[in-house]
Amino acid sequence: MEDGQNAIKILARDEAFYFKNNVGATEDQKCDWLSCESERVSKDLDQLTLDPHQLKYLKGCALNVGNKYNLKAEEILIDAAKMNPTMFEIWNELGDCIWKKGDKKGARNCFERALNQERNKVSLRNLSIVMRQQESVTNAEIEESVKISKEAVSLDVTDGTSWYILGNAYLAQFFLCGQASNDLKCSLNAYSKASADEKVLSDPDYHYNKGIVFKYLDDYNNAIAHFTDAISIHPQFSECLSELNDLKDQILKTRQLIKNKGKLKGKNIAVMLRKLKEKSLSQKPTKVSMTTFDKLNAGTNEDKAINCILISSFVPNGRTPFVCICLDTESNCFALNIYNIDCGKAPKLGDVMTVPYPQKSAVNIVIDNELNDFEMLRIDTPLNMMINNRQLPRETLAPLKLTTTALT
């Protein structure tokens, strides 16, 4: 049994490192290679002296390596489960196999049956993933997904894959449960611990997901670095390439609009500033001190707020954040990224915004041999804002939609 498991581990490792060891290879080339190698390992297993259910289990594992569904693997694993329904490893492998053909309900049933036999990290982390990939997911299920991922980590704190899955669970919680930036920080912490595993580091999805975290933390340098790493491992990673290009376009457009003050002429800017100052004077006293952009500290300003007027806006590639180009009462021009907002109910040109607890950061990055340096603010929820001295209703919220590119 051990010899067979080792052969499959070697195959799985070679599959994980395929693009790293075969620079420039295509997805089709990888599929052809894996198909041949899986069949070879499966046939070699016949030389071992094993119980029938063990042999079928290992053959199913060999044919199930990779992200593509294999009908033969499913049939063999079903036979193995019938022979020994108490072996949780068989249920885990069968669940992983039928998951690849899109049967998430069946996969979840397999992982739960495995857990009925023994609490194990593979079942826990796979159940965590499949729970948050359902068509309709509640906040409670996302929170349970995080809890289950934590349990998987607790069973083996040295397992990089478990840390990676926990990082993904926190990322899903960010997207689906209110976009709390603390979820991103928890995700980043889990990813950092996962990085001790060389296999995780070779996974382009790891770098892609980590890049997404940095992007939504407005840390564009690290986001671009990880998107670039993912593409260097897997040059045909189209989703990642799209994210990278979209982010570069967002940075370039933001910088240009700040530099040109929203392309407004001097007369229009004067009108905007006069409206901003009038609104600011009529504003009721707030619990935090009002200030201007240049007096904000880097990071979160928990005891301050800023009044500004919207002079331009855009939504990168129709997604998020809602990027505002603003002026404050001292004519400072800067970007404000608003998350978790319904763009149909977002601020409009000429609206005066009161932004409490603004988070300030700097962008300093070279794109196409040109330095892009500017400062910006972010706010995680529009419910903390006021527009034209009015609090925004809850209907203004619009949670992000989470899409997945892999089974993690």
Residue linked to tokens 């990027």: 323
Strand partners for 290: 305
Q: What is the spatial distance between Cα 363 and Cα 218, in angstroms, rounded to a whole number?
A: 9
**pTM of the predicted protein model:** 0.85
Half-sphere exposure of 23 (CA within 13 A, CB side): 2
Residue 405: the pLDDT is 46
Residue 406: the pLDDT is 47
**Three-state SS sequence of the chain:** CHHHHHHHHHHHHHHHCHHHHCCCCCHHHHHHHHHHHHHHHHHHHHHCCCCHHHHHHHHHHHHHCCCCCCHHHHHHHHHHHHHCCCCHHHHHHHHHHHHCCCCHHHHHHHHHHHHHHCCCHHHHHHHHHHHHCCCCCCHHHHHHHHHHHHHHHHHCCCCHHHHHHHHHHHHHHHHHCCCCHHHHHHHHHHHHHHCCCHHHHCCHHHHHHHHHHHHHCCCHHHHHHHHHHHHHHCCCCHHHHHHHHHHHHHHHHHHHHHHCHHHCCHHHHHHHHHHHHHHHHCCCCCCCEEECHHHCCCEECCCEEEEEEEEEEECHHHCCCEEEEEECCCCCEEEEEECCECHHHCCCCCCEEEEECCEEEEEEEEECCEEEEEEEEEECCHHHCEECCEECCHHHECCCCCCCCCCC
Asked if residue 245 and residue 159 are part of one domain, the reply reads yes
* Digit-coded pLDDT (tens) for 319-351: 779 999 999 999 999 999 998 888 888 999 999
In the chain, the amino acid numbered 343 is C
CA-angle at 114, arms to 112 and 117, nearest 5°: 115
Alpha carbon distances (Å) from 210 to 154, 204, 230, 329, 360: 22, 10, 10, 37, 21
Asked if residue 324 and residue 209 are part of one domain, the reply reads no
In the chain, the amino acid numbered 18 is Y
Q: Is the pLDDT of residue 171 over 60?
A: yes
Asked if residue 29 and residue 75 are part of one domain, the reply reads yes
Q: Is the pLDDT of residue 401 over 60?
A: no
Name the percent of the chain lying above pLDDT 70. 97
Half-sphere exposure of 146 (CA within 13 A, CB side): 19
Q: What is the band of 3 on the pLDDT scale with cuts at 50, 70, 90?
A: confident
How many Cβ atoms from other residues are within 10 Å of residue 21's Cβ? 10
Determine, yes or no, domain membership for 150: yes
Asked if residue 272 and residue 246 are part of one domain, the reply reads no
* Digit-coded pLDDT (tens) for 197-254: 998 999 999 999 999 999 999 999 999 999 999 999 988 899 999 999 999 999 999 9
Backbone angles phi, psi at 311, to 5 degrees: -110, -10
Asked if residue 82 and residue 190 are part of one domain, the reply reads yes
Q: What is the spatial distance between Cα 402 and Cα 166, in angstroms, rounded to a whole number?
A: 16
The CATH number covering residue 293 comes to 2.40.50.550
Of 195, 221, 250, the position where a domain reaches its end is: 250
Domain housing 82:
2-250
In the chain, the amino acid numbered 259 is K
Determine, yes or no, domain membership for 24: yes
Residues in the chain: 408
Of 211, 229, 250, the position where a domain reaches its end is: 250
205, two tokens: 């999805």
In the chain, what is the greatest distance between 2 CA atoms, to the nearest angstrom? 87
Asked if residue 169 and residue 97 are part of one domain, the reply reads yes
Q: How many domains does the chain have?
A: 2
Strand partners for 362: 375
* Digit-coded pLDDT (tens) for 18-60: 988 888 888 899 999 999 999 999 999 999 999 999 999 999 9
The CATH number covering residue 37 comes to 1.25.40.10
Asked if residue 293 and residue 246 are part of one domain, the reply reads no
Of 227, 250, 273, the position where a domain reaches its end is: 250
* Digit-coded pLDDT (tens) for 174-185: 888 766 788 999
Asked if residue 194 and residue 120 are part of one domain, the reply reads yes
Asked if residue 354 and residue 274 are part of one domain, the reply reads yes
Determine, yes or no, domain membership for 387: yes
